Amino acid sequence: MLRLGLALVAVLGLTVAAGLRFALLLAIGLGLGYTLERMGFGFAGPWRRFIRERNAQGLLAQLLAIGLAASFIQPLLAGNEQFIGAIAPVSISMVLAAAVFGFAMQLVLGCGSGTLVNAGSGNLVALVALPFFCIGSFLGTLLLPSALATFSHTTVDLNELGVGLSLSLTWAGLLLVGLIAVTLSQGPRLNRRLLTAAAIVAGLAVVHVLVAGQPWGVVYGLGLWVAKISLALGWDPAGAVFWSHPVNQATLNGSVLTDVTSLTSIGLVAGAAWAAWKSSDATPLAPGLARWIWLIVALAGLVLGVSSRLAFGCNVGGLFSGIASGSLHGWAWLVAGFVGSIGGVWVRDRLWARGTA
Amino acid sequence: MTRKTGIWCLLAVVIVLLGMDVVTSPPDPYAAPDPLVWGSSEGGSGALCSLPGQ
């Protein structure tokens, strides 16, 4: 009851301080964080279980969530000019970055949303990785112009084919991936808890678009936080192409409390803390890991940040929202990220076997 | 120490950083946009992960 009261105070306080739209975004983040932590819905963990155990339950729930979200988001994007989709270009650097992200997210067992949720639940690996993830995301913004200049980038927006065809292609792709997953899987394929979580996540993602006018993302906010700290320490953003863009200039000079991705990310952390509060007393903070493992965790966090920026989003902004918006880069992200994850699972198993006390 | 210690530490850092941000760039409630972009004449901010920023 106390936690619910605190959440309501935060949402009401933000309504007064910044406006109802931003309070609603914080509430959406709280709902997402609570759902992901309480119901065990995620991205890195289910991919790991599918790769190691041929357990497709989590992967199929992800596909359902993306499909449900796409069914509402793509018609919204088609019918309203004020809505912005998570449409980004495909390139060699984008695909490589998604593969590297998939690799690194298996090392820390946390993707974009997963690292925030795990940190919010008091997981020390995520708590160590998160600040480096933020720094990496900022570094990624400084590297992105070079990547854009070096490689040819092509944007493919399926919505240009018409919403009916775009949605049909999206569902066909999701069904194909689901069919492959089912064929390769072992044991029960459907999990009622995960499917329920998928429906909730999809619903919140759609509401996010209605409120913010753009899909759910994570990485943008992480880089913004470090950019704002750097600005306070004397960094001059005028020399950075990314931060000279009018949209980014506006967010850099504005309040974090009015930045869309920052609010949902803060909500994710707080929602996960809310869900994990009672059980957190029973779990030790520090897992028995060798010191060198912590260096790998920090490095993986840094890599997650850089790669997600170069891949135009993490599993949320790139994969989930990309596919749900009808962007081809979301599909490229899915394939590359999964290939990277196969390597990441293999390396993690060996490293953690040596580094666990 | 338990995970609750980790939660407390993280929440403390978030609150301190938010406090510093509010001091340096306070939000203006009088410039608050419509509650929803849906049905409004305003668009999304465009500050999202897929923005190439060029």
Which one is predicted more confidently, A242 or B1? A242
CA distance A347 to chain B (A): 26
- pLDDT class for A136, splitting at 50, 70, 90? very high
CA distance B12 to chain A (A): 11
For residue A310, what is the enclosing H or E element? helix A291-310
Which of chain B's residues have a Cβ under 8 Å away from the Cβ of A286? 1
Query: Among A84, A5, A74, which residue's Cα sits nearest to residue B51?
Result: A84
Q: What are phi and psi of A154, to 5 degrees?
A: -125, 125
A200's tokens: 């909730």
CA distance B13 to chain A (A): 11
Encode pLDDT of A157-202 as tens digits.
999 999 999 999 999 999 999 999 999 999 899 999 999 999 999 9
A317's tokens: 């902004």
CA distance A228 to chain B (A): 8
Q: For residue A73, give the 3-state DSSP assignment.
A: helix
Q: How far is CA A92 from CA A86, A89, A152, A310, in A?
A: 19, 10, 8, 10
For residue B7, what is the nearest residue in chain A, using CA coordinates? A122
Could you tell me which residues come within 8 angstroms of residue A136 by beta carbon, excluding any fewer than 6 positions away?
A301, A302, A303, A304, A305, A306, A307, A308, A309
Residue B8 is given by DSSP the state: H
At B54 the pLDDT is 74
Are A215 and B48 a contacting pair at CB < 8 A? Answer: yes
The count of CB pairs under 8 A between chains A and B is: 220
Give the closest of A228, A280, A318 to B7, CB-based: A280
At A356 the pLDDT is 84
- pLDDT class for A3, splitting at 50, 70, 90? confident
Are B54 and A214 a contacting pair at CB < 8 A? Answer: no
At A2 the pLDDT is 82
Mean of the pLDDT values across residues A259-283? 94
A91's tokens: 């390139």
DSSP string, A119-183: HHTT-HHHHHHHHHHHHHHHHHHHHHHHHHHHS--EE-BGGGG-HHHHHHHHHHHHHHHHHHHHH
CA distance B9 to chain A (A): 9
Give the closest of A213, A280, A312 to B37, CB-based: A213
Instruction: Reply yes or no on whether the pLDDT at A25 is more than 90.
Output: yes
Mean of the pLDDT values across residues A46-53? 97
* Chain A touched by B23 (CB under 8 Å): no
Which of chain B's residues have a Cβ under 8 Å away from the Cβ of A210? 36-38
Are A19 and B27 a contacting pair at CB < 8 A? Answer: yes
Q: How far apart are CA A267 and CA A270, in angstroms?
A: 5
Q: What percent of chain A stands above pLDDT 70?
A: 100
Give the closest of A148, A269, A321 to B10, CB-based: A269
Encode pLDDT of A310-349 as tens digits.
999 999 999 999 999 999 999 999 999 999 999 999 999 9
Instruction: Reply yes or no on whether the pLDDT at A357 is more than 80.
Output: no
At A100 the pLDDT is 98
* Chain A touched by B15 (CB under 8 Å): no
Which of chain A's residues have a Cβ under 8 Å away from the Cβ of B10? 119-120, 122, 127, 269, 273
Q: How far apart are CA A285 and CA A280, in angstroms?
A: 9
Q: Which of A11, A26, A82 would best serve as a mutation to test chain B binding (most B beta carbons within 10 A)?
A: A82
Q: How far apart are CA A171 and CA A164, in angstroms?
A: 11
At A169 the pLDDT is 98
At A4 the pLDDT is 87
CA count, 13 A, side-chain hemisphere, A123: 20
Count of residues for chain B?
54
Are B27 and A18 a contacting pair at CB < 8 A? Answer: yes
B16: how many CB neighbours lie within 10 A of its CB? 10
At A15 the pLDDT is 94
Burial code (b: 16+ CB inside 10 Å, e: under 16) for A224-251 equals bbbbbbbbeeebebeebbbbebeebeeb
Which of chain A's residues have a Cβ under 8 Å away from the Cβ of B25? 228, 253-256
Instruction: Reply yes or no on whether the pLDDT at A285 is more than 90.
Output: no
User: Do A338 and A94 form a contact (C-beta atoms < 8 A)?
Assistant: no
Instruction: Reply yes or no on whether the pLDDT at A156 is more than 80.
Output: yes
> Letter for the amino acid at A164?
G
Encode pLDDT of A52-91 as tens digits.
999 999 999 999 999 999 999 999 999 888 999 999 999 9
Could you tell me which residues come within 8 angstroms of residue A35 by beta carbon, excluding any fewer than 6 positions away?
A41, A197, A200, A201, A204, A271
CA distance B47 to chain A (A): 6
At A181 the pLDDT is 97
* Chain A touched by B12 (CB under 8 Å): no
Q: What are phi and psi of A89, to 5 degrees?
A: -75, 160
For residue A90, what is the enclosing H or E element? strand A89-90
Which of chain A's residues have a Cβ under 8 Å away from the Cβ of B21? 228, 255-257
User: Do A90 and A243 form a contact (C-beta atoms < 8 A)?
Assistant: no
For residue B29, what is the nearest residue in chain A, using CA coordinates? A18
Per 3-state DSSP, chain B is made up of helix, strand and coil in percentages (nearest 5) of: 45, 0, 50
Q: What percent of chain A stands above pLDDT 90?
A: 92
User: Do A36 and A272 form a contact (C-beta atoms < 8 A)?
Assistant: yes
